[in-house]
Amino acid sequence: MPSTGVFHIVVEPVDAGTRLDLMVASRVSDLTRSQAAALIQHGQIRVNDLFKKPGYRLQATDEITGRIPPPADTVVKPEPLALDILHEDNDVIVLNKPAGVVVHPSPGHASGTLVNALLYHCPTIGPIGGEFRPGIVHRLDKDTSGLLIVAKNAAAHAHLAAQFAARSIRKIYLAVVHGEMADERGVIELPIGRHPVDRKRMSISSRKPRLAETRWEVRERFKGLTLVELNLKTGRTHQARVHCAAINHAILGDPVYAGRKVYRSQTATTLVLIRQVKRQMLHAWRLTYTHPSRLVPVVFEAPLPQDMDQLIVHLRRLSMPSG
């Protein structure tokens, strides 16, 4: 559900007893519980067209209606920020996104995003694809590094969006995961949707799941950890992270889906190393698409970022036979 504009929610029996502010926050993207409570208190969100308190306990068939106003400042400003551009032509820009950078503005990230940098680098990209996501046809999580393709004109945007919708764009990720994979390759086919309780998480136990498929293959084995290739056949939010955790091989450093129990099987030496990891070890390594105007297959690869590369080097040393 969009984070601005009018919305309508009919409470299902399974949600009866849920607080009003919590329900709204869980169903409207990019809206926190405190923000929902403030809107409820200002009368912008009602239940059965009546004013209610944020802590009102919902009943089955209650109808929640509301309007989420746009941010006070709706102008995304160009900023002279560094971009790691691997390729650029009249139709596309292919970037290597560093970890820690947000792709587009959202609550709490009004500046310093990839979009702010793109608007400075290529001002004509502004009207393409929407005010807050100009040129953006797919995204990466803040702490995931790697390849991102951006459209520079409306025709390229439409062509690339159609390729993503048809699942003809091939996205290969590299990830360091907990545990030693028993097989050499496999397929994860588990549906993904919004977590039934925590709106910031995705889950394979969602009330409204969507088909998701990830194919994986072992690249290298270490003591207690594995480097894998992940081929995302679908593009669900947090797909790689959710699927790896679902098969008990959570991505190393994932603050959301890798619980503390994943560290129990690690050796003391390995623990010292992996506790220095500051983000999920997930990198969008290879991207294959059809060029929007030349209509030929194009393949790009992004080198591993320094933190992930150094981690793998250290893991190789730890895994070498002693003596």
Share of the chain above pLDDT 70, in %: 94
Q: Alpha helices, DSSP H only, in the chain? A: 20-27, 33-41, 114-121, 154-165, 239-246, 268-274, 306-319
Q: Which amino acid is it at 116? A: N
Tell me if residue 263 falls in helix, strand or coil: helix
Cα 95–101–102 angle (5° rounding)?
A: 100
Closest-CA residue to 255 (of 114, 140, 142): 142
pLDDT at position 27 is 82
Query: CB 305: neighbour CB atoms within 10 A?
Result: 18
Mean pLDDT score of the chain: 89
Share of the chain above pLDDT 90, in %: 65
Q: What is the mean pLDDT of residues 131-152?
A: 91
- The amino acid present at 198, given as its one-letter code, is D
Contact (CB, 8 A) for 145 and 96? yes
Distance CA 67, CA 296 (A): 45
Question: How remote is the C-alpha of 212 from its chain's centroid?
Answer: 14
Indicate the burial class of 257 (C-beta count within 10 angstroms; 0-12, 13-18, 19 or more): buried
Model pLDDT, residue 2: 47
Q: Active-site residue among 62, 141, 143, 254? A: 141
For residue 184, give the nearest of 224, 213, 227 by alpha carbon. 227
pLDDT at res. 1: 47
pLDDT of residue 121: 95
Dump pLDDT digits (tens) for 280-315: 999 999 999 999 999 999 999 999 999 999 999 999
Is 138's pLDDT higher than 50? yes
Per residue in 237-281, pLDDT tens? 999 999 999 999 999 999 899 877 777 777 788 888 888 899 999
Q: How many residues does the chain have?
A: 323
Averaged pLDDT for residues 10-25: 90
Which of 15-19, 26-30, 173-177 bottoms out in mean pLDDT, i.e. has the lowest?
A: 26-30
- Residue 141 annotated in active site: yes
Query: Is the pTM here over 0.85, yes or no?
Result: no
Residue 123 clears pLDDT 70, i.e. is over it: yes
Model confidence pLDDT, tens digit, residues 180-233: 999 999 999 999 998 887 767 899 988 888 999 999 999 999 989 999 999 999
Provide the pLDDT for residue 267: 78
Average pLDDT over residues 113-118: 94
Residue 271 vs residues 54, 194, 225, 277, 278: alpha-carbon distances, Å: 43, 32, 11, 10, 13
**Rounded mean pLDDT, 46-56:** 93
**Which domains are present in the chain?**
5-68 (3.10.290.10), 85-165 (3.30.2350.10), 170-319 (3.30.2350.10)
> Is the Cα torsion angle 320, 255, 86, 171 positive or negative in sign?
positive
Contacts of 278 (CB under 8 A, 6+ apart): 253, 307
pLDDT at 4: 52
